[in-house]
Amino acid sequence: MKKTLLFAAIVAALGGLLFGFDTAVISGTTSWLSTEFELSKFELGFTVASALIGTIIGALTIGKLSDKYGRRHVLFILAVLYFISALGSSLAWGWHSFLFFRLIGGIGVGGASVVSPMYIAEISPAKIRGRMVAIAQLNIVLGMLLAYFSNYIINSLELGAMEWRWMFGVEAIPAALFFIFLFITPRSPRWLIANNFVEEAKIVLDKCGTDSGNVEQEVESIQKSLDLQHHSLKEPFFTKKYRTPIMLAVILALFNQLSGINAVLYYAPDIFNMAGFGKSAALLNSMGIGGVFFIFTIAAMAVIDKMGRKKIMIIGSIGYIISLSAIAWAFLKYGNDFSETGSMVVLLSVFLFVASHAFGQGAVIWVYLSEIFPNRVRGRGQSLGTAVHWIAAAIISWTFPLIAEMSGGYTFAFYAVCMVLQLLWVIFKMVETKGISLEEIQKKLGIE
């Protein structure tokens, strides 16, 4: 593996680290926010979902911008948004100002979830593309783990009403580092070729590696896939010829959130409180979630290019079904009066659930979305799949406090049923993409 490729992938994946940190940090602040701003359950759900509204905006708009101005230039903008959000959220002077700065951070998250994996996919040779794009997922998980750890440390300092402000403010440090490191990363060779910067693209391909081992041959293959004599970078996207990748992206993104993963990540301490754990133990258990997520993401990275996307999705789906069913059973049996046994069932099942996600959907989604669209519409395709993901995440996160208060058991049972449907979809409909160049995937999906 070439050093330039690894460095560029790691830097781009810092967008993922900030994505993960921003996603998870709010889990340790929900009780403080409820008190500080006197929020109802509905308002708390909206407060958590406010960043997710931003992710939808970011996901929907950033694809076209990255096609026009380039992947790296857009990553600079996202780094600035993260920095502004971190400082603004920590210094918020009221509920509405807090919502505004969380919305700004959400735009950064939505944008990073589109551009970071897309950029990495476009600079990586096919044989290691899954592992390289999965670096973004690994950094998402590392960001979550850092957020959980940071929340736990800040909580232990007993800062009182200032605690939640510090939890949000520390994100400004990695955001600044992300911005600085972007100056020494190359631009995407596929974007460069699409915009007639062929000589610069050859330099990048030589430094990052190619599928064929021949830079000239790689450039020719990319140019053929673009086929700009017969197609335009501005051609309509929602057409019959792109139907297959569009359907694959939309369904995969919907199932990702119908697992309930964002509800668990955002409300982990609350779920553990519901299961009988105290505040400190709940925060510590949330750190455990981050650790499990990290370990199983590494495991997925090790095998995703060998086993393929479908096999690890099948394994993850089975783990989802078992763990969600167990959590549903525990809440239906114990309600609000958990015994030690019931609490442990929830704890272990949540860990199995997170492991299943990290090894399956979590590792696959960003890789798969970055692979299945042709070069000429990849920005818009990635935006579509990511936007569907975040729309579903916003709905799940906003409604979870309300429906879980009525019945935690039936909530998790619903997620379990959705994962049975995902398993069937993966077995019968999902197209394998391992070890195939981006241009060959285009041909496999029947796109001229």
pLDDT band at residue 262 using 50, 70 and 90 as cut-offs: confident
Residue ranges and CATH numbers for the domains of the chain are 3-444 (1.20.1250.20)
Average pLDDT value for residue range 329-341: 83
pLDDT band at residue 179 using 50, 70 and 90 as cut-offs: very high
| CA 120 – CA 97 distance, rounded (Å) | 34
The pLDDT value given to residue 19:
80
Give tens-digit pLDDT for 281-314: 766 676 788 789 889 999 999 999 999 999 999 9
| CA 291 – CA 275 distance, rounded (Å) | 20
Q: How far is residue 176 CA from its own chain's centroid?
A: 21
Give tens-digit pLDDT for 415-440: 999 999 999 999 999 999 998 888 88
Q: Model pTM?
A: 0.82
Give tens-digit pLDDT for 207-238: 998 877 889 988 988 888 776 544 556 778 88
Residue 263 has pLDDT above 90, yes or no: no
The pLDDT value given to residue 72:
93
Q: How far is CA 204 from CA 102, 144, 193, 238, 241, in A?
A: 36, 32, 11, 32, 31
pLDDT band at residue 318 using 50, 70 and 90 as cut-offs: very high
Question: Whole-angstrom distance between the N-terminal and C-terminal Cα of the chain?
Answer: 31
